Structure 1
């Protein structure tokens, strides 16, 4: 498992944008930076699991195996993504240039895609009266607003004495608070918070420990046990627990179940996230470059996932067979892969990573420009 403590030491240099928070590794002699393939690999594999999980959603009722795999994947795919997002939010202090990236890289794309998804819902699902609501994230847009809130509060978690236990307590309280409401999908924001806070405390050596041969070997029986457990319990477990969108009372369970499930799901999610990260290759692979485009794949694949259900693509006879489910899985992975490619990123960059210089003050632009240049030799600058 990951053992962390709150460190006051300077963070290593890692340059990234909000939309693509992947580290850069600096070559000391030349000052040239290159991306760390390990985290690009992790982001790509995690986004494939997200897409495959969405592709499996309509298959759950007709296949216990598909339902068990769905439950297994939903235990850790978002926790892994959120933990990595927290890791690359360690340097967020609220500087003007960081706030600019937060607004232009998360806030504006959230507004754009929230509107786009609602328009798509009105057209694709023949629901012209579906209401617009900026405060009620639709489908995949919840992650953007959650990331906005988590990153904005990152400086707070660095001064809290026991940040992970406090975040876990916040998640447990949220899970038993039915009156929080739906604004900003606050239940998910708070219930997934412990993974983001844990990511804030991680250091490069923690990921090196995770990749040790012993941890990789130990991950095999852990994953096997998780798969067997998922298959055994799937008829008796409400999948809604894994979404973190409702309190225990709203799901018809006693309040104490919310506390128990918060601790249980966090522990299971963390254990499987460690297994996942242990198996991510550290070398460059054919899909490494796709890791830079996962935010594109995430935001765009939802249109296809929703459309496939509204337009009865799953009604085809061949889908409800073992071979058909395998084909659906491959299609889900292939679609998300295509959406992470460079041509797609170039096509949709104006929506996902809009240039917002015109909206900010000259001071903000100059701070961002100055911060872009490498620090003098021997200095360390948190990003």
Structure 2
């Protein structure tokens, strides 16, 4: 057999080995994890303005940002396929990711024009939270190629660490940030292949509670590290390192060891994400159904927070511990409200557009009850 054919055959077998199928039975654990992740996202954005004047706010902010988006990427990766995309999957990148991105980007540009007088529409520079949609599109495109390589997770980590040395790779189309958090997405996909989550769901009660005690210890240790070093972390601008966005030069550390720091932060995020998932309830809870609307919360909460953040009300005296707790509980309330059925009904044309007029052969892809959103949550 010619070498080219052998290589093609080997690649096909490797793709076949990493082929996954999405679960037919809904697993409450993942909906619980999605909702917990989105609450942390909203919370981090809600308290961001308070971090300038409050060490307590900065402590909570750094505690959250060390792992909340990596955990979200892990969940999204778990429900992603590494097989070459078919016509249906390619269309969904357009309808589920790119089209909602363009819609929300346009709305944000209009809002900023009306409120701030910014007369700029630039689809290459995502507004605020919209970067993650573009990152998901990049992940979907890249994953089948990574799956053809040996040690795809190692390659993803190498890309994440190395990209920081290139100052010319920036936030255009969210490229730098997407590559920065790529290891977590790939890790989520590999977790599905390894079956670790299934084994965790079948674990006995005693072992589960032992793991949860250890997870609480991990979180307590990280919280203590942040609280004791918050002034040093403020001076170092550690929070920008958790964005996985800027180059090391832009972060003020254009030295050879900057990549080792990012590698350490990746390891920290994996450890904290593992602790987070261990603490997520495995059974159905009162907030399980809220986890089916994470894209609504993610794309709409910024409009709720925008007037609060930009008004300056969260500065000075309003950065006190009382106001910090107020914003924490407000974040939970916002997440619950935006997960409600009426919000999904009203905003579905924006979040879940169905532009059959836009697509060629759209009738070949009829809507089904099992359709999922970009994070893997089954839509209702």
TM-score, normalised via structure 1 length: 0.85
The 8 Å contact of residues 97 and 365 in structure 1, kept in 2 or not, is answered as no
Q: Hey, what does 1:111 align to over in structure 2? A: 102
Q: Following the alignment from structure 1 to structure 2, what is the Cα–Cα distance between the partners of residues 112 and 220? A: 40
Partner-residue secondary structure (3-state), 1:149: helix
What are structure 1's unaligned runs of at least 5 residues?
1-5, 15-22, 26-34, 374-383
Unaligned runs of 5+ in 2: 1-13, 371-380
State TM-score, norm by structure 2. Answer: 0.85
2:170–2:246: 8 Å Cα contact kept in structure 1? no
Segments ≥4 residues shifted beyond 6 Å: 370-373
Question: d(CA) in 1 for partners of 2:250 and 2:200?
Answer: 37
Q: Secondary structure at the match of 2:263?
A: helix
Query: Paired residue for 2:5?
Result: none
Report whether the alignment pairs 1:40 with 2:31.
yes
Distance 1:24 1:63, change over 3 A: farther
In structure 1, distance between residues paired with 2:300 and 2:157 = 31
Describe how 1:72-83 pairs up with structure 2 within 5 A.
72-83=63-74
Q: 1:223 to 1:7 in 2, by over 3 A?
A: farther
Q: Distance between the aligned counterparts of 1:350 and 1:74, measured in 2? A: 31
In 1, are the aligned partners of 2:15 and 2:82 still within 8 Å (CA)?
no
Q: Give deviations 1:30-64, integer Å, cap 9, x for gaps.
A: xxxxx221111100010000001111111112222
Q: Deviations over 1:224-273 (max 9, x none)?
A: 11111111232222111111120111121133243012211110100010
Is 1:357 matched with 2:351?
no
Tell me, yes or no, if the aligned pair for 1:297 and 1:340 is still in contact at 8 Å: yes
Q: Distance in 2 between matches of 1:122 and 1:257?
A: 42
Q: 1:338 to 1:370 in 2, by over 3 A?
A: closer
**CA RMSD between the two structures:** 2.3
Give yes or no for contact 2:20–2:81 (8 Å, CA) kept in 1: no
SS in 1 for 2:168: helix
Match of 2:118 among 121, 124, 128: 128
Deviation at 1:122, TM superposition (A): 2.1
Q: Which residue of 2 aligns with 1:258?
A: 258
Q: Which moved more, 1:165-174 or 1:228-237?
A: 228-237
- TM alignment of 1:261-340, pairs within 5 A: 261-315=261-315, 317=317, 319-340=318-339
Count of aligned residue pairs for this structure pair: 347
2:195 aligned with 1:205, yes or no?
Answer: yes
CA distance in 2, matches of 1:52, 1:200: 26
Displacement of 1:196 after TM fit?
A: 0.8
Change (3 A) 1:50 1:92: farther
The residue aligned with 1:150 is: 139
CA distance in 2, matches of 1:162, 1:242: 25
Which residue number corresponds to residue 219 of structure 1?
A: 215
* CA pair 185-370 structure 1, distance change in 2 beyond 3 A: closer
Whole-angstrom distance in 2 between the partners of 1:256 and 1:233: 24
8 A Cα contact 2:15 2:83, kept in partner: no
Distance verdict in 2 for CA 1:341–1:93, change over 3 Å: farther
Change in Cα spacing, 1:8 to 1:262, as seen in structure 2 (3 Å) is farther
